[in-house]
Structure 1
Protein backbone atom coordinates (compact mmCIF):
# COMPACT_ATOMS: atom_id res chain seq x y z
CA UNK A 1 0.00 0.00 0.00
CA UNK A 2 1.24 3.51 -0.84
CA UNK A 3 2.50 5.55 2.12
CA UNK A 4 -0.14 8.28 1.50
CA UNK A 5 -3.08 5.85 1.57
CA UNK A 6 -5.01 5.50 4.82
CA UNK A 7 -6.99 2.44 3.67
CA UNK A 8 -7.84 0.50 0.54
CA UNK A 9 -11.56 0.82 -0.24
CA UNK A 10 -11.73 -1.26 -3.41
CA UNK A 11 -9.05 -3.78 -4.41
CA UNK A 12 -7.74 -4.50 -7.89
CA UNK A 13 -9.49 -7.89 -7.78
CA UNK A 14 -12.83 -6.35 -6.79
CA UNK A 15 -12.56 -3.83 -9.66
CA UNK A 16 -11.77 -6.61 -12.13
CA UNK A 17 -14.77 -8.68 -11.01
CA UNK A 18 -17.07 -5.64 -11.12
CA UNK A 19 -15.93 -4.80 -14.67
CA UNK A 20 -16.87 -8.33 -15.76
CA UNK A 21 -20.31 -7.88 -14.16
CA UNK A 22 -20.86 -4.40 -15.63
CA UNK A 23 -19.62 -5.49 -19.07
CA UNK A 24 -22.09 -8.36 -19.11
CA UNK A 25 -25.00 -6.08 -18.15
CA UNK A 26 -24.04 -3.40 -20.70
CA UNK A 27 -23.72 -6.08 -23.41
CA UNK A 28 -27.18 -7.44 -22.57
CA UNK A 29 -28.83 -4.01 -22.47
CA UNK A 30 -27.38 -2.64 -25.72
CA UNK A 31 -27.78 -5.94 -27.59
CA UNK A 32 -31.46 -6.01 -26.58
CA UNK A 33 -31.85 -2.46 -27.98
CA UNK A 34 -29.91 -3.28 -31.15
CA UNK A 35 -27.57 -0.35 -30.48
CA UNK A 36 -23.80 -0.01 -30.78
CA UNK A 37 -22.82 2.27 -27.90
CA UNK A 38 -20.32 5.07 -28.20
CA UNK A 39 -18.30 4.85 -24.99
CA UNK A 40 -17.09 8.33 -24.08
CA UNK A 41 -14.37 8.37 -21.45
CA UNK A 42 -14.10 11.51 -19.38
CA UNK A 43 -10.37 12.18 -19.15
CA UNK A 44 -8.19 11.55 -17.38
CA UNK A 45 -9.65 9.62 -14.48
CA UNK A 46 -11.79 7.21 -16.49
CA UNK A 47 -8.91 5.69 -18.50
CA UNK A 48 -8.03 2.68 -16.27
CA UNK A 49 -11.70 1.88 -15.64
CA UNK A 50 -12.68 2.28 -19.29
CA UNK A 51 -9.79 0.09 -20.37
CA UNK A 52 -10.83 -2.73 -18.03
CA UNK A 53 -14.56 -2.30 -18.69
CA UNK A 54 -14.44 -2.36 -22.49
CA UNK A 55 -12.52 -5.66 -22.46
CA UNK A 56 -15.64 -7.15 -20.86
CA UNK A 57 -18.25 -5.72 -23.24
CA UNK A 58 -18.89 -8.56 -25.67
CA UNK A 59 -20.26 -6.65 -28.64
CA UNK A 60 -19.15 -3.99 -31.10
CA UNK A 61 -18.50 -0.62 -29.48
CA UNK A 62 -17.04 2.71 -30.51
CA UNK A 63 -14.92 4.87 -28.22
CA UNK A 64 -14.06 8.53 -27.88
CA UNK A 65 -12.93 10.87 -25.12
CA UNK A 66 -13.75 14.25 -23.66
CA UNK A 67 -11.56 16.24 -21.28
CA UNK A 68 -13.68 18.26 -18.88
CA UNK A 69 -12.97 19.54 -15.41
CA UNK A 70 -14.77 21.20 -12.54
CA UNK A 71 -12.15 20.71 -9.82
CA UNK A 72 -9.28 22.72 -8.40
CA UNK A 73 -7.41 20.47 -5.95
CA UNK A 74 -10.09 18.98 -3.70
CA UNK A 75 -12.77 21.59 -4.43
CA UNK A 76 -15.49 21.46 -7.08
CA UNK A 77 -15.53 24.97 -8.58
CA UNK A 78 -19.02 24.69 -10.03
CA UNK A 79 -18.44 25.49 -13.69
CA UNK A 80 -16.91 23.08 -16.17
CA UNK A 81 -14.07 23.69 -18.57
CA UNK A 82 -13.88 21.69 -21.83
CA UNK A 83 -10.29 21.02 -22.87
CA UNK A 84 -11.11 18.32 -25.44
CA UNK A 85 -14.45 17.76 -27.12
CA UNK A 86 -15.56 14.63 -28.98
CA UNK A 87 -13.83 13.75 -32.24
CA UNK A 88 -16.93 11.78 -33.25
CA UNK A 89 -20.38 13.18 -33.94
CA UNK A 90 -22.87 12.60 -31.13
CA UNK A 91 -25.86 12.98 -33.47
CA UNK A 92 -28.29 10.07 -33.27
CA UNK A 93 -25.87 8.01 -31.15
CA UNK A 94 -26.43 6.01 -27.99
CA UNK A 95 -23.71 7.37 -25.74
CA UNK A 96 -22.41 5.67 -22.64
CA UNK A 97 -20.37 8.13 -20.59
CA UNK A 98 -17.58 6.40 -18.69
CA UNK A 99 -16.74 8.16 -15.44
CA UNK A 100 -14.34 7.39 -12.60
CA UNK A 101 -16.59 8.85 -9.90
CA UNK A 102 -19.96 10.58 -9.60
CA UNK A 103 -19.46 13.11 -6.83
CA UNK A 104 -21.43 16.38 -6.86
CA UNK A 105 -22.89 15.54 -10.28
CA UNK A 106 -22.17 19.00 -11.70
CA UNK A 107 -19.75 17.85 -14.40
CA UNK A 108 -21.92 14.92 -15.39
CA UNK A 109 -25.06 17.04 -15.62
CA UNK A 110 -23.35 19.57 -17.90
CA UNK A 111 -21.77 16.92 -20.13
CA UNK A 112 -25.11 15.12 -20.49
CA UNK A 113 -26.76 18.43 -21.47
CA UNK A 114 -24.03 19.17 -24.01
CA UNK A 115 -24.36 15.76 -25.63
CA UNK A 116 -28.15 16.04 -25.77
CA UNK A 117 -27.73 19.43 -27.44
CA UNK A 118 -25.41 17.77 -29.99
CA UNK A 119 -28.24 15.42 -30.94
CA UNK A 120 -27.39 12.26 -28.99
CA UNK A 121 -30.21 9.72 -29.10
CA UNK A 122 -29.58 8.85 -25.44
CA UNK A 123 -26.88 9.46 -22.85
CA UNK A 124 -26.34 6.90 -20.13
CA UNK A 125 -23.60 6.77 -17.51
CA UNK A 126 -21.38 4.02 -16.16
CA UNK A 127 -19.22 4.97 -13.19
CA UNK A 128 -16.67 3.01 -11.23
CA UNK A 129 -17.60 4.88 -8.05
CA UNK A 130 -20.65 6.69 -6.74
CA UNK A 131 -20.47 9.07 -3.78
CA UNK A 132 -24.15 10.02 -3.20
CA UNK A 133 -23.49 11.94 0.06
CA UNK A 134 -21.80 14.70 -1.96
CA UNK A 135 -24.46 15.00 -4.67
CA UNK A 136 -25.71 18.53 -5.31
CA UNK A 137 -27.33 17.79 -8.69
CA UNK A 138 -30.08 15.33 -9.53
CA UNK A 139 -27.85 12.93 -11.47
CA UNK A 140 -27.89 9.15 -11.25
CA UNK A 141 -25.50 6.76 -12.99
CA UNK A 142 -27.20 3.97 -14.92
CA UNK A 143 -24.45 1.50 -14.06
CA UNK A 144 -22.41 1.78 -10.85
CA UNK A 145 -19.43 -0.24 -9.74
CA UNK A 146 -19.23 0.70 -6.07
CA UNK A 147 -21.04 3.14 -3.79
CA UNK A 148 -18.58 4.69 -1.36
CA UNK A 149 -18.63 6.89 1.70
CA UNK A 150 -17.66 10.57 1.63
CA UNK A 151 -13.88 10.18 1.66
CA UNK A 152 -11.22 11.72 -0.57
CA UNK A 153 -10.28 8.77 -2.79
CA UNK A 154 -7.34 8.20 -5.11
CA UNK A 155 -6.06 5.44 -7.35
CA UNK A 156 -7.33 3.58 -10.39
CA UNK A 157 -7.49 6.85 -12.32
CA UNK A 158 -8.49 9.12 -9.44
CA UNK A 159 -5.96 11.74 -8.47
CA UNK A 160 -4.95 14.46 -6.11
CA UNK A 161 -3.08 17.19 -8.01
CA UNK A 162 -2.40 14.70 -10.83
CA UNK A 163 -0.72 12.14 -8.53
CA UNK A 164 -1.79 8.60 -7.55
CA UNK A 165 -3.75 7.80 -10.75
CA UNK A 166 -1.58 4.73 -11.34
CA UNK A 167 -2.41 2.97 -8.07
CA UNK A 168 -4.05 -0.39 -8.93
CA UNK A 169 -6.79 0.04 -6.30
CA UNK A 170 -9.04 2.77 -4.89
CA UNK A 171 -7.80 4.09 -1.56
CA UNK A 172 -8.53 6.86 0.90
CA UNK A 173 -5.93 9.64 0.82
CA UNK A 174 -4.51 10.50 4.23
CA UNK A 175 -5.89 13.85 5.44
CA UNK A 176 -2.47 15.30 6.20
CA UNK A 177 -1.59 15.05 2.50
CA UNK A 178 -4.30 17.48 1.36
CA UNK A 179 -5.12 19.59 4.43
Structure 2
Protein backbone atom coordinates (compact mmCIF):
# COMPACT_ATOMS: atom_id res chain seq x y z
CA UNK A 1 0.00 0.00 0.00
CA UNK A 2 1.16 3.51 -0.74
CA UNK A 3 -0.10 6.95 0.23
CA UNK A 4 -3.05 8.38 -1.69
CA UNK A 5 -4.68 11.77 -2.15
CA UNK A 6 -8.37 12.23 -1.35
CA UNK A 7 -10.02 15.61 -1.99
CA UNK A 8 -6.80 17.56 -1.43
CA UNK A 9 -5.51 15.62 1.59
CA UNK A 10 -2.84 12.95 1.73
CA UNK A 11 -3.69 9.68 3.46
CA UNK A 12 -1.16 7.04 4.51
CA UNK A 13 -1.70 3.25 4.58
CA UNK A 14 -3.35 2.17 7.82
CA UNK A 15 -5.16 -1.18 7.64
CA UNK A 16 -5.32 -3.50 4.65
CA UNK A 17 -8.44 -5.41 3.68
CA UNK A 18 -6.59 -8.62 4.55
CA UNK A 19 -5.82 -7.33 8.06
CA UNK A 20 -9.41 -6.17 8.55
CA UNK A 21 -11.15 -9.36 7.37
CA UNK A 22 -10.44 -11.57 10.45
CA UNK A 23 -12.00 -8.92 12.71
CA UNK A 24 -15.13 -8.78 10.56
CA UNK A 25 -15.30 -12.60 10.43
CA UNK A 26 -15.20 -12.72 14.24
CA UNK A 27 -18.08 -10.22 14.43
CA UNK A 28 -20.16 -12.38 12.06
CA UNK A 29 -19.54 -15.47 14.23
CA UNK A 30 -20.51 -13.58 17.38
CA UNK A 31 -23.74 -12.35 15.77
CA UNK A 32 -24.70 -15.87 14.69
CA UNK A 33 -23.96 -17.22 18.18
CA UNK A 34 -26.09 -14.53 19.85
CA UNK A 35 -29.06 -13.94 17.57
CA UNK A 36 -28.75 -16.41 14.71
CA UNK A 37 -31.96 -18.32 15.41
CA UNK A 38 -34.06 -15.27 16.41
CA UNK A 39 -34.77 -14.01 12.86
CA UNK A 40 -32.72 -10.83 13.20
CA UNK A 41 -33.27 -7.81 10.98
CA UNK A 42 -30.01 -6.25 9.85
CA UNK A 43 -30.06 -2.50 9.28
CA UNK A 44 -27.03 -1.31 7.33
CA UNK A 45 -26.36 2.38 7.89
CA UNK A 46 -25.58 4.21 4.67
CA UNK A 47 -23.42 5.41 3.24
CA UNK A 48 -20.39 4.32 5.24
CA UNK A 49 -21.39 0.80 6.29
CA UNK A 50 -22.22 -0.52 2.82
CA UNK A 51 -18.93 -2.45 2.53
CA UNK A 52 -19.09 -3.72 6.12
CA UNK A 53 -22.71 -4.76 5.56
CA UNK A 54 -21.71 -6.63 2.43
CA UNK A 55 -18.82 -8.32 4.25
CA UNK A 56 -21.14 -9.43 7.06
CA UNK A 57 -23.81 -10.67 4.60
CA UNK A 58 -21.25 -12.81 2.77
CA UNK A 59 -19.99 -14.29 6.02
CA UNK A 60 -23.45 -15.01 7.45
CA UNK A 61 -24.72 -16.59 4.22
CA UNK A 62 -28.22 -17.09 5.71
CA UNK A 63 -31.67 -16.00 4.47
CA UNK A 64 -31.86 -13.11 6.96
CA UNK A 65 -33.50 -9.81 6.10
CA UNK A 66 -31.37 -6.74 5.55
CA UNK A 67 -32.56 -3.23 4.99
CA UNK A 68 -30.81 0.10 4.75
CA UNK A 69 -31.18 3.41 6.52
CA UNK A 70 -29.41 6.72 6.22
CA UNK A 71 -28.75 9.33 8.87
CA UNK A 72 -26.82 12.55 8.80
CA UNK A 73 -24.85 13.92 11.74
CA UNK A 74 -21.46 14.81 10.20
CA UNK A 75 -20.14 17.66 8.12
CA UNK A 76 -16.62 17.12 6.81
CA UNK A 77 -14.55 15.71 9.68
CA UNK A 78 -16.80 16.81 12.56
CA UNK A 79 -20.11 15.80 14.16
CA UNK A 80 -22.89 18.39 14.02
CA UNK A 81 -24.54 17.06 17.21
CA UNK A 82 -27.87 16.64 15.38
CA UNK A 83 -29.28 13.43 13.89
CA UNK A 84 -31.39 13.70 10.76
CA UNK A 85 -33.14 10.61 9.39
CA UNK A 86 -32.56 10.89 5.66
CA UNK A 87 -33.94 7.42 4.84
CA UNK A 88 -35.81 5.22 7.33
CA UNK A 89 -35.50 1.41 7.19
CA UNK A 90 -37.89 0.03 4.58
CA UNK A 91 -38.77 -2.95 6.82
CA UNK A 92 -40.70 -2.37 10.04
CA UNK A 93 -38.56 -2.90 13.17
CA UNK A 94 -41.62 -3.61 15.35
CA UNK A 95 -41.10 -6.76 17.43
CA UNK A 96 -37.76 -7.53 15.76
CA UNK A 97 -34.27 -8.15 17.06
CA UNK A 98 -32.45 -5.44 15.11
CA UNK A 99 -28.73 -5.61 14.42
CA UNK A 100 -27.46 -2.21 13.33
CA UNK A 101 -24.39 -2.42 11.08
CA UNK A 102 -22.21 0.68 11.28
CA UNK A 103 -18.78 1.40 9.86
CA UNK A 104 -17.26 3.47 12.65
CA UNK A 105 -18.07 4.73 16.12
CA UNK A 106 -16.56 8.10 16.83
CA UNK A 107 -18.50 10.18 19.36
CA UNK A 108 -21.25 7.55 19.65
CA UNK A 109 -23.98 10.14 19.13
CA UNK A 110 -25.45 8.64 15.95
CA UNK A 111 -25.72 5.10 17.30
CA UNK A 112 -27.16 6.24 20.63
CA UNK A 113 -29.90 8.13 18.79
CA UNK A 114 -30.57 5.29 16.32
CA UNK A 115 -30.95 2.78 19.15
CA UNK A 116 -33.44 5.07 20.94
CA UNK A 117 -35.33 5.62 17.70
CA UNK A 118 -35.69 1.90 16.88
CA UNK A 119 -36.72 1.02 20.44
CA UNK A 120 -39.34 3.79 20.31
CA UNK A 121 -40.63 2.20 17.07
CA UNK A 122 -41.15 -1.10 18.88
CA UNK A 123 -37.98 -3.09 18.23
CA UNK A 124 -37.73 -5.97 20.71
CA UNK A 125 -34.00 -5.46 21.02
CA UNK A 126 -31.36 -3.36 19.25
CA UNK A 127 -27.82 -4.63 18.96
CA UNK A 128 -24.94 -2.65 17.53
CA UNK A 129 -22.24 -4.16 15.30
CA UNK A 130 -19.40 -1.89 14.22
CA UNK A 131 -16.43 -2.46 11.96
CA UNK A 132 -14.22 0.04 13.80
CA UNK A 133 -14.49 1.78 17.16
CA UNK A 134 -12.68 4.86 18.47
CA UNK A 135 -13.29 4.34 22.22
CA UNK A 136 -11.26 7.42 23.19
CA UNK A 137 -13.61 9.63 21.16
CA UNK A 138 -16.87 8.45 22.76
CA UNK A 139 -18.88 11.24 24.32
CA UNK A 140 -21.75 8.97 25.41
CA UNK A 141 -20.51 6.67 28.17
CA UNK A 142 -23.83 4.79 28.17
CA UNK A 143 -23.40 3.52 24.61
CA UNK A 144 -23.07 -0.27 24.51
CA UNK A 145 -21.47 -1.82 21.44
CA UNK A 146 -22.42 -5.47 21.15
CA UNK A 147 -19.94 -6.39 18.42
CA UNK A 148 -16.71 -4.53 17.65
CA UNK A 149 -14.46 -5.49 14.79
CA UNK A 150 -11.40 -3.52 15.84
CA UNK A 151 -10.64 -0.67 18.22
CA UNK A 152 -8.51 2.10 16.75
CA UNK A 153 -7.04 5.42 17.93
CA UNK A 154 -8.88 8.69 17.36
CA UNK A 155 -7.44 9.22 13.87
CA UNK A 156 -9.28 10.37 10.74
CA UNK A 157 -9.48 7.52 8.24
CA UNK A 158 -10.94 6.74 4.81
CA UNK A 159 -11.58 3.59 2.84
CA UNK A 160 -13.69 0.43 3.08
CA UNK A 161 -16.83 2.57 3.18
CA UNK A 162 -15.41 5.52 5.14
CA UNK A 163 -15.11 8.82 3.32
CA UNK A 164 -13.73 12.34 3.39
CA UNK A 165 -16.25 14.75 1.84
CA UNK A 166 -17.79 11.87 -0.12
CA UNK A 167 -14.53 10.54 -1.55
CA UNK A 168 -12.54 7.42 -0.70
CA UNK A 169 -15.41 5.08 0.22
CA UNK A 170 -14.63 2.53 -2.47
CA UNK A 171 -11.05 1.90 -1.42
CA UNK A 172 -10.69 -1.68 -0.18
CA UNK A 173 -7.97 -0.74 2.29
CA UNK A 174 -8.15 1.88 5.05
CA UNK A 175 -5.93 4.96 5.09
CA UNK A 176 -5.20 7.52 7.82
CA UNK A 177 -4.85 11.24 7.20
CA UNK A 178 -1.30 12.52 7.04
CA UNK A 179 -1.16 15.16 9.79
CA UNK A 180 1.28 17.36 7.85
CA UNK A 181 -1.08 17.37 4.87
CA UNK A 182 -3.98 18.30 7.17
CA UNK A 183 -1.95 21.08 8.79
CA UNK A 184 -1.04 22.54 5.38
CA UNK A 185 -4.62 22.41 4.17
CA UNK A 186 -5.87 24.11 7.35
CA UNK A 187 -3.20 26.83 6.98
CA UNK A 188 -4.19 27.47 3.38
CA UNK A 189 -7.84 27.85 4.39
CA UNK A 190 -6.93 30.40 7.10
CA UNK A 191 -5.13 32.69 4.64
TM over 0.5: yes
Shift of 1:142: 0.6
Q: Where does residue 131 of structure 1 map in the other structure?
A: 134
**1:45–1:157 Cα contact (<8 Å) kept:** yes
Q: Where does residue 161 of structure 1 map in the other structure?
A: 165
Which structure's CA Rg is the greater one? 2
Q: Where does residue 22 of structure 1 map in the other structure?
A: 27
Supply the RMSD in Å over aligned alpha carbons: 1.4
Matched length:
177
Aligned pairs (5 A) from 1:88-127 = 88-127=91-130
Within the candidate set 59, 67, 73, 1:70 is matched to 73
Q: Give runs of ≥4 in structure 1 deviating > 4 Å.
A: none
Which has the larger displacement, 127-136 or 22-31?
Answer: 22-31
| Cα distance between partner residues in 2 of 1:81 and 1:151 | 25
Shift of 1:174: 2.2
Structure 2 stretches lacking a partner, 5+ long? 187-191
**1:6–1:173 Cα contact (<8 Å) kept:** yes
Shift of 1:9: 2.5
| Cα distance between partner residues in 1 of 2:83 and 2:165 | 17
Normalised by the length of structure 1, the TM-score is: 0.93
Structure 1 stretches lacking a partner, 5+ long? none
Q: Where does residue 151 of structure 1 map in the other structure?
A: 155
Q: Deviations for 1:34-59, whole angstroms, at most 9, x for unmatched residues?
A: 30111101100000011011111143
**2:4–2:12 Cα contact (<8 Å) kept:** no
